[in-house]
Amino acid sequence: MNIVVDDLRGPEIADLLSEHLQDMYRITPAESVHALDIDALRQPDVTFWSAWQGEALLGCGAIKQLDDQHGEIKSMRPARQYLRQRVARALLQHILSEAQTRGYRQVSLETGSMDAFAPARKLYQAAGFSFCSPFSDYLDDPNSVFMTKWLSVA
């Protein structure tokens, strides 16, 4: 698996992100969808990665800088045909490693509270994330779960 910074210009990534947003709106009430669209993922405070095996897009993930010591995981998504093949785990480890390199002390995320998001919550808990209160500009929402992980300073 090759994980690279992605400029979000390829048709494969556009299709995967479109599928991601469609799924979020299908599962979650519109007012509770916090997934970023492709233009928001191109903002300077966001770094976006894609994972590839040859020409096959395996998945994607991003980190949004909230401040000098805090990042937010965004757009974690394995391609449907690569579910349960450790793609999300590899992307998460890559993002956490990058957060550590940047000197972040904390990485947080928002995910859904519905059963469809249980695998994501399990992944994050296995990586050391714990449940927390809303952070940044988020408000308490019964459709959202907030998680955070404190990183050791090197």
Please count the other Cβ atoms lying within 10 Å of the Cβ belonging to residue 30. Answer: 7
Q: Where are the beta strands (DSSP E) in the chain?
A: 2-5, 46-53, 56-67, 70-78, 106-112, 130-132, 144-150
Q: Tens of pLDDT along 83-138?
A: 888 999 999 999 999 999 999 999 999 999 999 999 999 999 999 999 999 999 99
Provide the pLDDT confidence category of residue 154 given band limits of 50, 70 and 90.
low
The answer on pLDDT for 24 being more than 80 is: yes
Contact 78, 87 (CB under 8 A): yes
pLDDT at site 27: 93
Q: How far is CA 19 from the centre of its chain?
A: 15
- What's the average model confidence in pLDDT over 72-78? 96
Average pLDDT over the chain, rounded to an integer: 95
Domains and CATH numbers, the chain: 2-150 (3.40.630.30)
The whole-angstrom separation of Cα 105 and Cα 12 is 33
Q: Is the pLDDT of residue 34 over 90?
A: yes
Residue 10 sits at φ, ψ, to 5 deg, of -80, 150
Secondary structure string (H, E, C) spanning 97-134: HHHHHHCCCEEEEEEECCHHHHHHHHHHHHCCCEEECC
Residue 97: CB atoms within 10 A of its CB come to 12
pLDDT score, position 152: 86
